[in-house]
Structure 1
Amino acid sequence: MKKILLVDDNEHDRVLYKRYLGKQMGFERLEILEAASGAEGLAQFQRLRPDCVLLDYNLLDTDGLTLLNDLKQLTGPDSLCVIMITGGGSEALAVRALNEGALDYLVKGHFDQELLSKTVLHAIEKNEWRQYVARYHGQLQTINQQLRDSLDELTKARQQVQQTNAQLLAANQEIEARNQQLARTNADLDNFVYAASHDLKQPINNLRGLFDEMRRTATFDDPEEDKLLRLVDESIRDLTTTVTDLSAVVQVDRATGEQSTEPVSLPDLTADVLQTLRPQLLTVHGSVDTDFAAQSEVVAVRSSLRTILLNLLANAIKYRHPERAPQVCIRSRQASGQSIIEIQDNGLGIDLEKHGTEMFHLFRRFHPEAGEGTGVGLFLVNRLVQAQGGRIEVESQLNVGTLFRIYLSQP
């Protein structure tokens, strides 16, 4: 549920804004709060912590910029969502408001319901995104510091090896053989330093390995240690998932147009994907039926099509209904010169009336209670399908299941 606080001493304007915001704008629920003065608005904000504030610049007891600065004192850095509403349309005032921390501004009498709704929605999404980035930026800073510490240690080790090499140059054949070995070690160290400087995933994997080894071999007497270990494990897993997913997004953007299509056997590709997901299917007693009689081969980028099927099948398992085993059907056909692949499940389903417009947006999750994830899978699927000139249709019903219909353009 999103909460919007209206701070305006004009009751008529507040009534108008409430009517404009009557639609839910894609959120599950929307609660409108009101304040008729700056003091009341400050108290309401401190007590209710709304997701967005519509702040009138001209208030009887204060002005909008002063109240904006007061609100900033109650929040953390880059976490305040304020839209300034002015009556005069002064560009200088708007610039001051944006410089002071407002995310956007509107001029009274110059906006309608659609513009207000879009402005509020955009401000909330922007505020949520920058808070998301700030959280993971902090984690990445920690990893970077660990990398810098590791690089310092590697530099010292390399200097020691070089000193040893200088001494071994004057030694006999056995020493010379050792020198050659050390030279190979130096090359390995150079490669490692380069990789550590340009790839975050490797040090994260290293942390995972060290943590698993510590948990396997170490013994802790303090009962609180088990809780601490779980928290560390979850943090490393979340960071790994986020870096991997964001890297996948970048790779999709870079790979667009670089890969060539080829004839792909749907039975063979599906068998490959099901073999990968076999442990998950066995765990949840899931079943997958296939029907490729109408069209068993399509022309596509094989690696991309594999990623599409893998993500959709993995989602069918992850977002299964708790009261029944997952059943998935994969079938193919051709219509109007296009190859069509359908993946249908009996899982939790999606409320398309609420979430249909954001189905393939980045970092959107519709069942966060059902499993871990970052909301990147459907985004990637859509980008990969579009990269091949195709499109996706979705049919879904809550607690019944979902059907993804993929249209692939054929040469």
Structure 2
Amino acid sequence: MKKILLIDDNEQDRMLYKRFLGKQVGHERFEIHEASSGAEGIRQFRNLRPDCVLLDHNLLDTDGLTLLGDLQELTPPDTLCVVMITGGGSEALAVRALNTGALDYLVKQHFDPELLYKTVTHAIEKNEWRQYITRYHQQLQTVNQQLRDSLEELTETRQQIQQANIQLTAANEEVRARNQELRAANEQLARTNADLDNFVYAASHDLRQPVHNLHGLFEELRRSATFHDPEASQMLRLMEDSFSDLSTTITDLAAVVQVARPPGEQITERVPLADLTADILQTLRPQLQDAKADIKTDFAALPEVEFVRSSLRTVLLNLVANAVKYRHPARPALVQLRSRHTTSHAVLEVQDNGLGLDLDRHGAELFQLFRRFHPNAGEGTGVGLFLVNRLVQAEGGRVEVESVPEQGTTFRVFLPN
């Protein structure tokens, strides 16, 4: 439940905002706290760390812009969510509030319950998205720097090897008696070069797909989302530049060994489900042990399926990981994996006894990007089910879901025969 702090010296206005925010039937409810002065607002903010502050501009002991600056000093950069409210409709004041750090601006007696609710929820979502982008940008910068460092090390190593080859060649010309010894040394150097080529290829090949996935998710977001923050375009441009730099670095690494070893394409194959599941359970072993999860499998009706192995591994890994992550706190986690076939499809089932989902409420958003329905149950970005659905649909399949809140969920993956 999101926490809202109302800072307003007018008790009637505070009562009105509380009534407005409490009338939104079918939406997430808020935990609302009040402060009747700027000083009290500061104390409440320190104790509560609210998700959003509704801040009146005209206070008896201070003004909203000054208090906004005080609140910013209590939070890390770009993490404060404030909606400024004033009794006047001054455009200049609105601009000053937004430039000072407010995420939105409302004029008293010019909004209804729905507008107030939407403004607050949009401000919270915008603040959460801003923090998410910042974290992602920092991670991309770190990966980018690591790749640059690796490339510099590889270049230095290659230069050292080239220098050694020159020295060996000169020694071979000067001392023909040592030809055999020098040939052995050159063969060893050639093997070292091959190992370096294999390393560069493996690094570039393995990193390219995750970067492409990240870039695809970024492009989907930029195409489908609407941003109201005037700084959004600059943030998106910075992200695009980071993606471009990272992709260019990986492409350069691949070009070093492209002639000798071009990367191959993924193909479908007969994948034994028992072996694949064993691999997945080994990967998730720490999470399974922590949750004391009981994993049961039954692949007798369909031991193998035809699919891209890496894609199928991603599908089952995400479904099993989610089943464990969103387990019910009142009982041990039980996850059952089964397989069967119909006339037109191979069917994989992953059933759990966890928290479950309200499909009437969330069903339409289940496979959308960055959607999470149990944010307090564990960490995550809401990408897993989106990837599962995309991977299955890419091969002409589909995913069906049955779920009962507080009882559990069953995912059925239909793959074409």
Going from structure 1 to structure 2, the CA distance change for 1:71 and 1:345 (only over 3 Å counts) comes to: same
- 1:17 paired with 2:26, answer no
Q: CA deviation at 1:270?
A: 5.0
Q: Counterpart in 1 of 2:95?
A: 95
Going from structure 1 to structure 2, the CA distance change for 1:117 and 1:372 (only over 3 Å counts) comes to: closer
Going from structure 1 to structure 2, the CA distance change for 1:301 and 1:110 (only over 3 Å counts) comes to: farther
Going from structure 1 to structure 2, the CA distance change for 1:121 and 1:194 (only over 3 Å counts) comes to: farther
Moved more, 50-59 or 70-79: 50-59
Q: CA deviation at 1:151?
A: 4.6
Deviation digits for residues 204-257 of structure 1 (CA, Å, limit 9, x no counterpart): xxxxxxxxxxxxxxxxxxxxxxxxxxxxxxxxxxxxxxx97x8755567899xx
Q: Counterpart in 2 of 1:211?
A: none
Q: Counterpart in 2 of 1:65?
A: 65
- 1:352 paired with 2:361, answer no
SS in 1 for 2:3: strand
Q: Counterpart in 1 of 2:386?
A: 379
Q: CA deviation at 1:100?
A: 1.8
Deviation digits for residues 346-387 of structure 1 (CA, Å, limit 9, x no counterpart): 512235389837654527373866x77665322322444565
Matches of 1:382 and 1:83 in 2, distance apart? 37
- 1:308 paired with 2:315, answer yes
Going from structure 1 to structure 2, the CA distance change for 1:354 and 1:35 (only over 3 Å counts) comes to: farther
Matches of 1:298 and 1:147 in 2, distance apart? 37
Q: Counterpart in 2 of 1:84?
A: 84
Matches of 1:270 and 1:119 in 2, distance apart? 48
SS in 1 for 2:9: coil
SS in 1 for 2:374: coil
Matches of 1:290 and 1:159 in 2, distance apart? 53
Q: 1:397 aligns with which of 399, 402, 405?
A: 405
Matches of 1:10 and 1:299 in 2, distance apart? 67
SS in 2 for 1:54: strand
Q: CA deviation at 1:80?
A: 0.9
Q: CA deviation at 1:396?
A: 1.9
Q: CA deviation at 1:63?
A: 2.8
SS in 2 for 1:366: coil
Contact 2:320 2:335 in 1 (8 A): no
Once the two structures are superposed, the pairs formed by residues 271-310 of structure 1 within 5 Å of their partners are 273-277=276-280, 284-289=293-298, 307-310=314-317
Matches of 1:201 and 1:306 in 2, distance apart? 17
- 1:112 paired with 2:112, answer yes
- 1:326 paired with 2:334, answer yes
Going from structure 1 to structure 2, the CA distance change for 1:50 and 1:328 (only over 3 Å counts) comes to: same
SS in 1 for 2:102: coil
TM-score, normalised to structure 2, is 0.63
Contact 2:4 2:32 in 1 (8 A): yes
Deviation digits for residues 67-120 of structure 1 (CA, Å, limit 9, x no counterpart): 211211111111111122244444443333222222222333343323322332
Once the two structures are superposed, the pairs formed by residues 9-408 of structure 1 within 5 Å of their partners are 9-22=9-22, 23=24, 30-135=30-135, 137-138=137-138, 148-172=148-172, 173=179, 174-175=181-182, 178-179=185-186, 182=189, 185=192, 189=196, 250=215, 273-277=276-280, 284-289=293-298, 307-316=314-323, 319=326, 323=331, 326=334, 328=336, 330=338, 343=349, 345-350=351-356, 352=358, 356=362, 359-360=366-367, 362=370, 364=372, 366=374, 375-384=382-391, 388=396, 390=398, 392-398=400-406, 400-404=407-411
Going from structure 1 to structure 2, the CA distance change for 1:353 and 1:139 (only over 3 Å counts) comes to: same
Contact 1:339 1:407 in 2 (8 A): yes
Q: CA deviation at 1:340?
A: 10
Contact 2:319 2:350 in 1 (8 A): no
Matches of 1:46 and 1:278 in 2, distance apart? 43
Matches of 2:399 and 2:34 in 1, distance apart? 43
Going from structure 1 to structure 2, the CA distance change for 1:30 and 1:386 (only over 3 Å counts) comes to: farther
Q: CA deviation at 1:4?
A: 0.7
Q: CA deviation at 1:53?
A: 0.7
One-letter amino acid matched to 1:59? L
Matches of 2:304 and 2:197 in 1, distance apart? 46
Going from structure 1 to structure 2, the CA distance change for 1:143 and 1:329 (only over 3 Å counts) comes to: closer
Matches of 2:151 and 2:170 in 1, distance apart? 30
Contact 2:305 2:346 in 1 (8 A): no
Q: CA deviation at 1:392?
A: 4.2
Figure out how many residues of one structure are paired with residues of the other and give that number. Answer: 355
SS in 2 for 1:32: strand
Deviation digits for residues 257-282 of structure 1 (CA, Å, limit 9, x no counterpart): xx9999x99xx775565454566699
TM-score, normalised to structure 1, is 0.64
Going from structure 1 to structure 2, the CA distance change for 1:395 and 1:327 (only over 3 Å counts) comes to: same
Matches of 2:202 and 2:304 in 1, distance apart? 40
Contact 2:274 2:299 in 1 (8 A): no
Moved more, 187-196 or 305-314: 187-196
Q: CA deviation at 1:5?
A: 0.9
RMSD: 5.0
Identical pairs, percent? 57
Going from structure 1 to structure 2, the CA distance change for 1:299 and 1:290 (only over 3 Å counts) comes to: closer
One-letter amino acid matched to 2:385? L
Going from structure 1 to structure 2, the CA distance change for 1:278 and 1:154 (only over 3 Å counts) comes to: closer
Contact 2:318 2:384 in 1 (8 A): yes
Structure 1 runs, 4 residues or longer, greater than 6 Å off: 193-196, 251-255, 259-262, 280-283, 290-293, 296-303, 331-335
Structure 2: tracts of 5 or more residues without a match:
173-178, 221-264
Q: CA deviation at 1:341?
A: 5.5
One-letter amino acid matched to 2:127? N
Going from structure 1 to structure 2, the CA distance change for 1:18 and 1:188 (only over 3 Å counts) comes to: same
Matches of 2:393 and 2:110 in 1, distance apart? 37
Going from structure 1 to structure 2, the CA distance change for 1:139 and 1:313 (only over 3 Å counts) comes to: closer
Deviation digits for residues 138-169 of structure 1 (CA, Å, limit 9, x no counterpart): 56655655555555444443433333333333
